[in-house]
Chains A and B, each alone.
Chain A
């Protein structure tokens, strides 16, 4: 029951922040609201006893990505910071709201129509913490539940992204040198 209350609080925080995030005109506020959403999601991970996941969420998302966003926002237009570029109540907003509502209704409809999910839930199993040791071993093993291949892939992928980001940002520099 306590968990349910915590869940309710977190859900309210997440949804409220998310709505604020997409509706505010000022982009810095949107970034801040995103931070709250990320914290909320991290809280849900803790609730699910995925401690490592929650920690990763906070350190990577909340700590890393959000800061990057804020830097990027500082680097681009002043108009955006002052909230001058966004407009409301256009045709597009109505359309987007319609699509979002219909989509959400559809998803919920799917869910209501299929009772299988709730039947599948195994209520007996206790919530056990997945230890760091298990995660580390699984990440580096090639057995069943071993993820060494995706792990290596994502390492290369991250490297490619770092190089790609640097190259993209460097184009201008080269031009200036020339």
Chain B
């Protein structure tokens, strides 16, 4: 039996690797990839906690399923936006959309 702590530590590390990538990357697609890492770490946590702590329930698993669906949708829309930004601004760098703040 694998202790739940292991999963926890693994997902924590994965989460912060994703955060690190999100902050350092300049490319919009690469930032999105980092976000996927973060999402995966969370999914992993849900599944592990469900199995380890409350094996009778299904909440964690279903949450993970929904999360996978949502992240698929999110990345589809985000990529569409990025491609559009690239078409308009001929750049896929994050600083190219800074003027959207106005």
Please determine if A and B sit in direct contact within the complex, based on CB atoms under 8 angstroms apart: yes
> What is the size category of the interface that chain B forms with chain A?
35 or more
- Chain A neighbourhood of B65, CB < 8 A: 53, 56, 135
> What is the size category of the interface that chain A forms with chain B?
35 or more
- Mark contacts of B55-70 with chain A using CB atoms, 8 A cut-off: 1 yes-contact digit, 0 otherwise: 1111101101110111
For chain A, residues 137 to 175, give those with C-beta under 8 angstroms from any C-beta of chain B: 138-139, 145, 147, 150, 154, 157-158, 161-162, 164-166, 168-169, 171-172
* In the bound complex, CA of A11 to CA of B70 (Å): 25
B96 to chain A, nearest CB (A): 10
The 8 Å CB contact of B51, one of A31, A49, A101, is A49
B88 to chain A, nearest CB (A): 8
Number of A-B contacts (CB under 8 A): 223
Known: A27-B29, A100-B16, A161-B76. A127 touches B24 (CB 8 A): no
- Chain A neighbourhood of B59, CB < 8 A: 145
The 8 Å CB contact of B76, one of A68, A87, A150, A171, is A68
A165 touches B37 (CB 8 A): no
B3 touches A60 (CB 8 A): no
A111 to chain B, nearest CB (A): 6
A18 touches B27 (CB 8 A): no
- Chain B neighbourhood of A76, CB < 8 A: 29, 82-83, 86, 92
A44 touches B44 (CB 8 A): yes
The 8 Å CB contact of A27, one of B30, B43, B76, B84, is B30
The 8 Å CB contact of B4, one of A50, A72, A121, A169, is A121
For chain A, residues 116 to 140, give those with C-beta under 8 angstroms from any C-beta of chain B: 117-118, 120-123, 125, 127-128, 130, 134-135, 138-139
A72 touches B79 (CB 8 A): yes
* In the bound complex, CA of A10 to CA of B22 (Å): 23
- Mark contacts of A100-124 with chain B using CB atoms, 8 A cut-off: 1 yes-contact digit, 0 otherwise: 1101100110010000011011110
* In the bound complex, CA of A165 to CA of B52 (Å): 38
- Chain B neighbourhood of A104, CB < 8 A: 12-13, 15-16
Best-buried of A18, A64, A120, A121 by chain B (most CB within 10 Å): A18
A157 to chain B, nearest CB (A): 6
Please give the residue numbers on chain B whose beta carbons come within 8 Å of chain A beta carbons, in ascending order.
Answer: 1-10, 12-21, 23-27, 29-30, 32-34, 36-37, 40, 43-44, 47-48, 51-53, 55-59, 61-62, 64-66, 68-77, 79-84, 86-88, 91-93
